[in-house]
Structure 1
Amino acid sequence: MKFVIAPDSFKQSMTAKEAANAIKRGLLKVFPNAEYELVPMADGGEGTVQSLVDSTDGVLKTATVMNPLGEMVSAEYGILGNGTTAAIEMAAASGIQFIDENTANPLIATTYGTGQLIKAALDDGMQEIIIGIGGSATNDGGQGMAEALGVKFLDAAGEPIKRGGGDLNRLVTIDMSAVDARLANVNIRIASDVTNPLVGEKGASYVFGPQKGATPAMVATLDANLTHYAQVIKEQLGKDLADYPGAGAAGGLGAGLLAFTNANLEPGIQIVVEATGLVAKAKDADYAFVGEGGIDFQTQYGKTPIGSAKAIKQASANAKVIGLAGYVGEGIDVLYDLGIDAIFGIVPSAMDLKKAMTTGEANLERTAENIARLIK
């Protein structure tokens, strides 16, 4: 019998690898001689680097970079097991965890540190970079990221504009003469499920700006500035990104990557399925386990469990896919037609959130064991 174990992380409780190991421990109590394939998963958001490193036997590396407020911090990125692909989470350098209600200011927050992480991957000789762009504290259209890679953003006097979304209205010239030449030979894959355009009512500033500390007045300024920024990019680089789906991800970092690198936007789960080799590893599976902290009707919209389930069914149409979650919400019936055959909550009794988080592995192991006993 073959089991494929492909969970996402259970946020604040377990990494995807820890969750996979807990499930395996439960199954081993009933099926000690079964074949097990562990494939830690993610969807491009938090935990993607760790999952890709774990599932491909890669390594984590650390770089000193600038956070959104201009302070130097240590940020991790990964090199996958093939030795030629790097995995980056922009949040590691430019994430919302670096700000609080007193320091949040998208007018000055910069993605410069994300560019430094890309540069570190180039220094490592990478041929491909996967970059997850969720959880940003920024609204600069990727200007800081591009500046770290050699792009110059100049005002009417030929002087560099300030970093952050608040000074983009002064942009007159984009100087690409000193851009890192290695970018031309690197394939950058943007892992994001955000489809928002760069500007407008559904754009980066109006939809995500308030989460990053933007007042209504700031939102209007930031949107106007990104509109100007997009116009300059269109005129000088020939790329029309103002209404491009996904360009508004991470405060417009999606647009910046599309404008200044050889990048493509792709669904995060699709990138991770490919990078981990999930389809090949799921061949001839009898049972598979997917899951994350919560499963509900929203899971159908490209979340990791459903993406993993579809990949597993692609490899083994008759495999039974079981979903595990700390929280099972409303509307899960739709998931039974999309690749998940059964869903189980792992919390054994009423308990506070802290206890549920700290007992996650034990709860997951016990639930897997009970399911294995039913299978047997």
Structure 2
Amino acid sequence: MADRVLVAPDKFKGSLAATEVTARVAAGLARAGFRGEVVQLPVADGGDGTVDAAVSAGYRRVELEVRGPTGRPVTAAFALLDETAVIEAAQASGLSLLAPGQLAPLRASTWGVGELILAAIRMGAKRIVLAVGGVATTDGGAGLLEALGARLADASGNPLPPGGAALARLATLDLSGLRDLSGVEFQLASDVNNPLLGPAGAAAVYGPQKGAAPGDVKLLEAGLTTWADVAEAACGAAARD
């Protein structure tokens, strides 16, 4: 009979976080009479619970107040170990932060994720693992970039309001004020492989999960298309696919 059991679940979405599943399985084993070693190691897929998984693996939790998906302050956390930070976008811009009747698919922003990145860099992070799942936003990371110092403007030079729908009016992307990130390595943590645009893209596939009606999906697709055009021109590199 085994004398060592590894309990390593992801979250049970909509019911229990990975850390809670882990604890309950361990408790069930003990209640059933298992007397061996139980190793508890919750895991994550790049969505909700990624920070908790990192903390369970020995990282330190850092909490701060940031701008939530609809602009209201929220308390968010990231995980830090030496010079590596694990940042969970859902902590600042997550779908779970909004009640079902408060979803804002057209105007939800990733600004708070940028604030988490800035805080991690201030604390010495040189490597950032950015977990991108579970968000309420379809702004292509535009809000994140604005928090890092970029400026998005329409044809009249006016700053754009937050959210993916407003990106259809984007005319210029000014990166001159962007924080210098040359010494920071970024890695993305995700369990999907979608392009930005098209029938398998962000708006079409994930917009409805965030409250977008069919007409909203078209607006978000138009915004992301313009975002890709302007961002690729500003950066001199193609990234939409």
Cα RMSD (Å):
2.3
Question: Hey, what does 1:309 align to over in structure 2?
Answer: none
Q: 1:42 aligns with which of 21, 41, 44?
A: 44
* TM-score, normalization by structure 2: 0.88
Question: Hey, what does 1:156 align to over in structure 2?
Answer: 155
Check conservation: 1:4, 1:39, Cα contact below 8 A: no
CA distance in 2, matches of 1:227, 1:235: 12
* TM-score, normalization by structure 1: 0.58
Match runs of 1:130-169 below 5 Å: 130-169=129-168
Letter in 2 for 1:165: G
Question: Hey, what does 2:69 align to over in structure 1?
Answer: 68
Alpha-carbon offset, residue 37 of structure 1: 5.2
The one-character-per-residue Cα deviations of 1:48-77 (angstroms, maximum 9, x if unpaired) are 21111111x221111101111110111111
Check conservation: 2:154, 2:170, Cα contact below 8 A: yes
CA distance in 1, matches of 2:157, 2:66: 27
Question: Hey, what does 1:53 align to over in structure 2?
Answer: 55
**Cα 1:14–1:225, aligned 2, differ >3 Å: closer, same or farther?**
closer
Check conservation: 1:106, 1:140, Cα contact below 8 A: no
**Cα 1:53–1:23, aligned 2, differ >3 Å: closer, same or farther?**
farther
Structure 1 residue ranges (4+ consecutive) displaced by more than 6 angstroms after TM superposition: none
Check conservation: 1:85, 1:130, Cα contact below 8 A: yes
Question: Hey, what does 1:3 align to over in structure 2?
Answer: 4
Structure 2: unaligned runs, 5 residues or longer: none
The one-character-per-residue Cα deviations of 1:101-128 (angstroms, maximum 9, x if unpaired) are 4322222111111111111111111111
**Cα 1:45–1:105, aligned 2, differ >3 Å: closer, same or farther?**
closer
The one-character-per-residue Cα deviations of 1:189-220 (angstroms, maximum 9, x if unpaired) are 11102111111111111111112121211111
Check conservation: 1:20, 1:39, Cα contact below 8 A: no
SS in 2 for 1:184: coil
Check conservation: 1:234, 1:240, Cα contact below 8 A: yes
Letter in 2 for 1:44: G
CA distance in 1, matches of 2:129, 2:33: 34
Matched, 1:79 2:80: yes
SS in 2 for 1:150: coil
Question: Hey, what does 2:211 align to over in structure 1?
Answer: 213
CA distance in 1, matches of 2:135, 2:238: 23
**Cα 1:10–1:227, aligned 2, differ >3 Å: closer, same or farther?**
closer
**Cα 1:58–1:25, aligned 2, differ >3 Å: closer, same or farther?**
farther
Question: Hey, what does 1:277 align to over in structure 2?
Answer: none
Match runs of 1:1-376 below 5 Å: 3=4, 5-11=6-12, 12-13=15-16, 15-16=18-19, 18=23, 21-22=26-27, 25=30, 29-31=34-36, 38-55=40-57, 57-80=58-81, 83-181=82-180, 183-242=181-240, 244=241
Q: Which of structures 1 and 2 has the larger relative contact order (alpha carbons within 8 angstroms, sep 6+)? A: 1
CA distance in 2, matches of 1:235, 1:123: 30
Structure 1: unaligned runs, 5 residues or longer: 245-376
SS in 2 for 1:190: strand
Alpha-carbon offset, residue 25 of structure 1: 4.4
CA distance in 1, matches of 2:29, 2:237: 48
Count residues in correspondence.
Answer: 236
Alpha-carbon offset, residue 6 of structure 1: 4.3
Alpha-carbon offset, residue 168 of structure 1: 0.7
- Structure holding more helix per residue: 1
CA distance in 2, matches of 1:188, 1:89: 13
**Cα 1:239–1:42, aligned 2, differ >3 Å: closer, same or farther?**
same
Bigger Cα Rg: 1
**Cα 1:24–1:101, aligned 2, differ >3 Å: closer, same or farther?**
closer
SS in 2 for 1:147: helix
CA distance in 1, matches of 2:120, 2:35: 43
SS in 1 for 2:101: coil
Task: Pick which of 17-26 and 159-168 moved more.
Answer: 17-26
Check conservation: 1:106, 1:212, Cα contact below 8 A: yes
SS in 2 for 1:102: helix
Alpha-carbon offset, residue 21 of structure 1: 4.6
Alpha-carbon offset, residue 39 of structure 1: 3.4
Letter in 2 for 1:52: A
**Cα 1:6–1:147, aligned 2, differ >3 Å: closer, same or farther?**
same
CA distance in 2, matches of 1:132, 1:113: 14
SS in 2 for 1:76: strand
